[in-house]
Amino acid sequence: MMAPREETLFEVEAYRVRRISREDAPLVRKLGERCLEHIELHYGSPPDPQQLVHDLLTDLPPGKTLADKFGLGVHEGGGWLVGGIDVVRDYPEPGEWYLGLLVLDPRHRARGLGTKLMAELVHWLRGQGARSLRLAVSEHNESGRRFWERQGFEPVKQVIAEFGNKQSVFHVMRRTLEER
Ligand SMILES: CC(C)(COP(=O)(O)OP(=O)(O)OC[C@H]1O[C@@H](n2cnc3c(N)ncnc32)[C@H](O)[C@@H]1OP(=O)(O)O)[C@@H](O)C(=O)NCCC(=O)NCCS
């Protein structure tokens, strides 16, 4: 018997967002193969497409458990995976959530999908009781930083972090989720 599919948490047009499960690992790896430039930006060379599977299924900030992790997949109508989102509840403090990853298949970028996904994610996060959202964007990701600024994120601090064999400066940013 097939494992029951994860429920849809929110939708954007024909795209459905649901939790990534172990069964999705091959699809996630394929997405990783299409997003190697993004993986390389953070982890250095050679980029490993399996990294996205780790990011969405197991990666956790210090002191957190999988109960607080939501590795989400953005699926097209037919089920094909076009994006990944990772959020962690109550990190670094209660009420604040941490967005560890937002990545789209390059063919689905620059058409407004990221903006629409963020709007629905924010709505869903409010429903979960989140009051603010934090993230860190690499100094090597200028367009990523512009995207977050347009989404209302403001700089908190800069930190140096090492992933894989690459050390980078990261801009930590946050935005409130309170309705203004
Ligand atoms: C960052 C990311 C998730 C944004 O998603 P997206 O769907 O590309 O974002 P949008 O389309 O809403 O906006 C991005 C760009 O498209 C432009 N754009 C928005 N709507 C558009 C539309 N309807 N038609 C054409 N261009 C559009 C925006 O002006 C913006 O341009 P800029 O980055 O050159 O300033 C996606 O580009 C991505 O996966 N990038 C690689 C991973 C990454 O950097 N993640 C974030 C850092 S952790």
pLDDT of residue 156: 98
Separate counts of helices (H) and strands (E) for the chain: 5, 8
Q: Tell me which of 115, 134, 150, 174 to substitute to probe ligand 1's pocket, judged by most ligand atoms within 8 Å of the beta carbon.
A: 115
Domains of the chain: 8-176 (3.40.630.30)
Name the pLDDT band for 2 (thresholds 50, 70, 90): low
The residue contributing the CA closest to ligand 1 atom 42 is 103
Reported as a single tens digit per residue, the pLDDT across 21-66 is 999 999 999 999 999 999 999 999 999 999 999 999 999 999 999 9
Q: What is the pLDDT of residue 96?
A: 98
Helix (H) or strand (E) holding 126: helix 113-127
Closest C-alpha to 25, from 67, 58, 1, 63: 58
CB contact at 8 A, 116 and 74: no
Residue 28: which region, alpha, beta or left (left: phi > 0; alpha: psi -120 to 50)? alpha
In tens, the pLDDT along 124-152 reads 999 999 999 999 999 999 999 999 999 99
In order of 1, 35, 38, 39, the CA distances from 102 in angstroms are: 32, 11, 10, 12
**Does residue 1 carry a pLDDT above 70?**
no
- In whole angstroms, give the CA distance from residue 125 to residue 108: 23
Are the CB atoms for 84 and 72 separated by under 8 Å? yes
Q: What is the mean pLDDT of residues 146-174?
A: 96
pLDDT for the residue 139: 96
pLDDT in tens, 87-112: 999 999 999 999 999 999 999 999 99
Nearest-atom number in ligand 1 for the CA of 108 is 7
CA–CA separation, 150 vs 145, rounded Å? 9
Mutate to test the pocket of ligand 1, among 12, 109, 151 (most ligand atoms within 8 A of CB): 109
User: How many angstroms separate the alpha carbon of residue 59 from the centre of ligand 1?
Assistant: 24
pLDDT, position 5: 73
Please check the confidence at residue 4 and state whether its pLDDT lies above 90.
no
Nearest residue (CA) to ligand 1, atom 25: 111
CA distance 73 to 51: 15
- For residue 17, is pLDDT > 60? yes
Ligand 1 contacts (CB < 6 A) are: 38, 102-104, 109-115, 137, 141, 143-144, 146-147
Give the phi and the psi of residue 116 in degrees, each rounded to 5: -70, -40
pLDDT at 3 over 60: no
